[in-house]
Structures are given as C-alpha cells and as structure tokens.
C-alpha cells in the first residue's frame, strides 16, 4: 500500500519506509561490502531480554563454532574471558560446551581513528536505537465457492461478514486478548503509521482488539482504526494504542469485506435491514473486495438493503484560489501545448501528504464509481507508483473495455487509466479543495518543451496578475526576479 519494509544492511534494523523516501542505490555504494554481519549466538535466543544488556557491558569477540543455514553460529567471548552464551544458559562460564572448539584469543581491537568529518563524527557516536518489530495481520482468507457467514457490520458501501469457518479463530483471538487489560502497558514511542497493525482499546466495552490504522491525526494525537476481526471503525487516543505482539498477529483477520452485486449504494440503515442469522454468501468474482449475493431462505436479499435511487449528482472538487501577494509554490506539472502550469502551494504540502495517506488507507475497500461521465471526480490508481490519487474524468472511454483519460487534480498530469484502477471517491475527500492551482503565465504566448522540462519541480514564488480570467494569469519569481519574460 505504498510502503516497503527496508533492512538497513549496515546496521541490521528494519523499518517501514514510504515509497517517496526510497532512491536507487548509486553503483559506487553497491560495490562496498556490508558493514554489519549477521550471526546466530549458540544456544541463545536473540529475543532474550538479557542479551542486549550483556552485549553493551564491555567489548567481546564473536568466535564462530558452526553454521546454520549459511549464517555463522558464534560464541560471544568477553575480554575478561567470560562467555555470554554460558551466562545466559546457566553453564559454568569457564567450561565451554563439549561441542564447542576452544576459544582462540581475540585480536586486540585497534584504537579508533579520529573522525575525518562531521558525518564521520556523527556515525562514530551513533547509538543505533533498538529496531521496532512491526507485525502484520493477514487478510481474512476467502472461502472457496459458496459459504455461510454472519453479517458483522456495514461501513459505507462495504459489508463485513464473518465466515462460519472463522468463528473458532475469532474465539481463539478473543481468548488471547481477554487478559490484555491486565498486562503492563506498552507505550508506543510514536504514533503508528497508516496500514500498521496494532492493539486498540474499544470505547464501548473498554476491551482491547486487533486493529489496522486507517489514518493518523498528529496534532490531536488520535488514530483512526478498523478492528480487523469485526470491521467497525473508531477514532481512538494515541494512549489507547499498543504494539501488536507476534503471537497475536499469527491469526488472519476474522471478517471478510464484500460488496453486494447490483447495489450501487447501500441504505444508511443497511446493517439494521440485514438478518442477524446465518446467511449464504455467493461470490460473483475474484475482485477485492469480492462482489457477492447474500442469500436468505433461498432468495437473494441484496435489493433489500439498496438505497432508494436518487438523481445522480456529479462529483466535483472545489478550487483552492491563490492568495494575494507572493506565495511560495512548486511547479508540479506543465501541460503542453496549452502552457498550463499546475502549482502546489508550499504551505499546503503537509495537508496534501496527510490527505494522501488517508486516501490510500481507505481506497482499497471503496466501491466502483457509480458514474464515469466527463468531469466526474474519482479515485484513480497511478500505474507508475501504484498509489491512489484524486482524479477527474477528462476523456471518457472509447469503448466498453477501454481506459479513460484521468486528470490527477492535485498534481496536474493526465494519464489513461483502466476501469479496474478506478474507485468511487469517498465523500470526505470531495470537500477537500484542490492542492494544484491551474494557471497561465502573464504575457507569455507559448512555452517550449525544453523550458517546461527545466521548470517542472522548480521552487518559485507566484503572484496573481489577473484573476478575472480562467485560468488566472500569474507571474513567477525565482530569487526575487520575475522569470515570465525568460519563458518561451
């Protein structure tokens, strides 16, 4: 979902990193050997809480005594001759295990050279923080063919069902979490990231449940989560979120998200209209979420929970006018031959990032668009990075299976997007004004390809010269000087 788990190979810790924070590794750095070696301490679990403390007490030598799947198995011998392995396993530190070869005297550690730069000084003093292990919960497995299930909850246009085959799994998870409130609180040093799996306290019963983060409000220190074993969503305080332990992540989610075949929009009270007894679920495709027919007493009940038809309202997005005076901005895109400049105001960068995180957390379960007419607002997946963006239809499909031309309204570029990569834009994002201002340069007749290539991604100041026309005419400044007359 736009992030990757990365191993920092010269230190050994791993973190979840967004795509925007990744760059290709220059070849000259790829030629350097790794600075960190992975080893397995003989007879000791790396998760033993005492190990880290003992390793930090004094220097030690790693003496290889074997190999495990290609990874060296070592004994950790300190300068005073004691063996950390023996201290942790309770053996006599002076008597090595029978299978271990006698430890050779470790060579003296040469004195560290004086750092040659500020960067070297920082690296020499670096104390690597203990890596946070983030455990993920797998999605609920889809049963083969028809299956029986109970309706758990309804969220927007998605129905969350509990397959009967997953009831035992839900009981196991509930039993494992029953005493969570009695455990010592584990404080998260920072708020979790969108898509991260955590434990969250449900306000209705004050019990802990497994959850996946949908969005984060850093100012209010609140986290919006979906409880993966039930499907409901709640906004919780950051203090009511705990790291997910490994043993609680092993069981996949217990509820399965589905959409009802033939139903464009569910009634607001759909959860009350659906029967509480066991239903038969008939999958209609292999999409995600799966389109299904809900059967009760041998009849399809999808139409029972459909919203009454309303006049189709075209989804449009509000403009975000440029303020008066000079404003810092970035040139996001230049559309040729029209010479349309799409500018992103620097002051709105953090708001754009927050919206993108929330949009990508919710887009996967959004239904297909109800309308794909010219000008309709949609949620579109960009093929180059696989992320979801707000878009607008600028050219309908030429046939029933062809792609549509979509304008990515917060950036300005247009792309052909297949229908499979289009979703209905959740209503909350319709009210968010555009982050890209479409403008033309004042007193500039045309913009060359070469000039456009030089200006894309440039940081400028923009000043409105004429707001009476659409798009408005502006002047661009770099280092205080107007560059309009230099553009051709």
* % of the chain exceeding 70 in pLDDT: 89
Residue 24 CA neighbour count, 13 Å, CB half: 3
| Distance from C-alpha of 179 to C-alpha of 156, rounded to nearest angstrom | 32
Interval 31-81: pLDDT, tens: 788 888 889 898 888 777 788 878 877 888 999 888 888 889 999 998 878
pLDDT of residue 256: 96
Give every CB contact of residue 224 below 8 A, 6+ residues apart in sequence: 213, 214, 215, 216, 217, 233, 234, 235, 236
What is the spatial order of strands in the sheet that 222-227 belongs to?
233-237, 222-227, 207-217, 197-202, 241-243
Cβ–Cβ < 8 Å for 224, 244 = no
Interval 342-381: pLDDT, tens: 999 999 999 999 999 999 998 878 899 988 888 899 999 9
Most confident of 76-85, 434-443, 479-488: 434-443
If you average pLDDT over residues 261-276, what whole number do you get? 88
| Distance from C-alpha of 405 to C-alpha of 376, rounded to nearest angstrom | 12
Reduce the DSSP state of residue 52 to 3 states and report it: helix
| Distance from C-alpha of 248 to C-alpha of 212, rounded to nearest angstrom | 13
For residue 209, give the H/E element and its range.
Answer: strand 207-217
pLDDT band, residue 423 (cuts 50/70/90) = very high
pLDDT of residue 113: 40
| Distance from C-alpha of 196 to C-alpha of 214, rounded to nearest angstrom | 8
pLDDT of residue 117: 55
pLDDT of residue 79: 80
If you average pLDDT over residues 455-470, what whole number do you get? 92
Q: What's the DSSP call for residue 306? A: B
Cβ–Cβ < 8 Å for 85, 103 = no
Average pLDDT, the chain: 85
15 versus 341: the higher-pLDDT residue is 341
Out of 105-119, 195-209, 445-459, least confident range: 105-119
Q: Three-state secondary structure along 83-120?
A: EHHHHHHCCCCCCCCCCCCCCCCCCCCCCCCCCCCHHH
* % of the chain exceeding 90 in pLDDT: 50
| Distance from C-alpha of 216 to C-alpha of 222, rounded to nearest angstrom | 6
pTM over 0.85: no
The Cβ of residue 178 has, within 10 Å, a number of other Cβ atoms equal to 11
Q: List C-alpha distances in Å: 488 to 106, 319, 369, 466.
A: 70, 28, 41, 20
Domains, in order of start, for the chain: 3-104 (no CATH), 147-305 (2.30.30.140), 327-486 (2.30.30.140)
Cβ–Cβ < 8 Å for 329, 344 = yes
Does the structure show a pLDDT above 60 at 472?
A: yes
pLDDT of residue 118: 57
Cβ–Cβ < 8 Å for 238, 250 = no
Instruction: Give Dmax over CA atoms of the chain in angstroms.
Output: 89
Does the structure show a pLDDT above 60 at 466?
A: yes
If you average pLDDT over residues 245-262, what whole number do you get? 93
Which residue in this structure is represented by tokens 């620097």?
A: 346
| Distance from C-alpha of 107 to C-alpha of 153, rounded to nearest angstrom | 65
Does the structure show a pLDDT above 80 at 451?
A: yes
pLDDT of residue 265: 85
pLDDT of residue 260: 94
Residue 224 φ then ψ, to 5°: -95, 125
pLDDT band, residue 291 (cuts 50/70/90) = very high
Cβ–Cβ < 8 Å for 278, 235 = no
pLDDT band, residue 263 (cuts 50/70/90) = confident
If you average pLDDT over residues 155-172, what whole number do you get? 94
| Distance from C-alpha of 65 to C-alpha of 72, rounded to nearest angstrom | 8
Give every CB contact of residue 210 below 8 A, 6+ residues apart in sequence: 137, 173, 177, 197, 198, 199, 227, 228, 229, 244, 248, 249, 253
413 versus 268: the higher-pLDDT residue is 413
pLDDT of residue 122: 54
Interval 370-409: pLDDT, tens: 888 888 999 999 998 899 999 999 998 888 788 999 999 9
pLDDT of residue 1: 66
Does the structure show a pLDDT above 50 at 449?
A: yes
pLDDT of residue 112: 41
């Amino acid at each position: 979902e736009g992030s990757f788990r990365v191993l920092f190979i010269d230190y050994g810790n791993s973190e979840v990193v967004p795509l925007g924070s990744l760059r290709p590794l220059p070849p000259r750095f790829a030629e350097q050997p790794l600075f960190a070696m992975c080893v397995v301490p003989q007879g000791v679990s790396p998760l033993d809480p005492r190990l880290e403390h003992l390793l930090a007490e004094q220097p030690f030598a790693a003496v290889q005594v074997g190999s495990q799947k290609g990874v060296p198995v070592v004994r950790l011998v300190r300068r005073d001759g004691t063996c950390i392995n023996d201290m942790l396993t309770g053996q006599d530190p002076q008597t090595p295990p029978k299978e271990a070869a006698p430890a050779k005297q470790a060579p003296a550690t040469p004195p560290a050279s004086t750092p040659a730069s500020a960067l070297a000084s920082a690296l020499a003093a670096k104390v690597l923080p203990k890596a946070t292990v983030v455990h993920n919960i797998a999605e609920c497995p889809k049963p083969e063919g028809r299956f029986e299930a109970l309706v758990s909850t309804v969220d927007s246009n998605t129905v969350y069902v509990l397959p009967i085959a997953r009831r035992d799994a839900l009981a196991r998870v509930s039993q494992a979490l029953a005493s969570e409130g009695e455990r010592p609180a584990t404080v998260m040093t920072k708020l979790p990231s969108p898509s991260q799996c955590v434990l969250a306290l449900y306000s209705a019963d004050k019990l802990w449940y497994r959850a996946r983060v949908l969005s984060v409000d850093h100012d209010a220190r609140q986290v919006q989560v979906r409880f993966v074993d039930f499907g409901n969503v709640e906004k919780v305080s950051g203090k009511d979120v705990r790291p997910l332990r490994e043993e609680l992540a092993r069981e996949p989610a217990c509820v399965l998200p589905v959409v009802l075949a033939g139903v464009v929009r569910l009634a607001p009270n759909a959860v009350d209209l659906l029967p509480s007894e066991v239903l038969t679920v008939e999958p209609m495709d292999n999409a995600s979420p799966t389109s299904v027919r809900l059967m009760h007493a041998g009849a399809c009940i999808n139409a029972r929970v459909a919203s009454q038809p309303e006049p189709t309202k075209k989804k449009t997005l509000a403009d975000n006018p440029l303020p008066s005076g000079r404003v810092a901005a970035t040139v996001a895109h230049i559309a040729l031959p029209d010479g349309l400049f799409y500018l992103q105001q620097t002051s709105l960068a953090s708001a754009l990032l927050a919206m993108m995180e929330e949009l990508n957390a919710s887009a996967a379960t959004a239904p297909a668009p109800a309308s794909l007419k010219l000008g309709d607002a949609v949620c579109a997946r960009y093929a180059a990075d696989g992320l979801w963006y707000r878009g607008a239809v600028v050219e309908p499909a030429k046939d029933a299976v062809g792609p549509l031309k979509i304008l990515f309204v917060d950036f300005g570029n247009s792309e052909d997007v297949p229908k499979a990569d289009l979703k209905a834009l959740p209503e909350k994002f319709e009210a968010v004004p555009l982050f890209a201002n479409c403008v033309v340069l004042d007193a500039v007749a045309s913009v060359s390809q070469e000039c456009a290539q030089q200006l894309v991604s440039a940081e400028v100041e923009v000043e409105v010269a004429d707001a009476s026309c659409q798009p408005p005419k502006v002047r661009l400044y770099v280092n205080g000087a107007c560059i309009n007359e230099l553009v051709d």
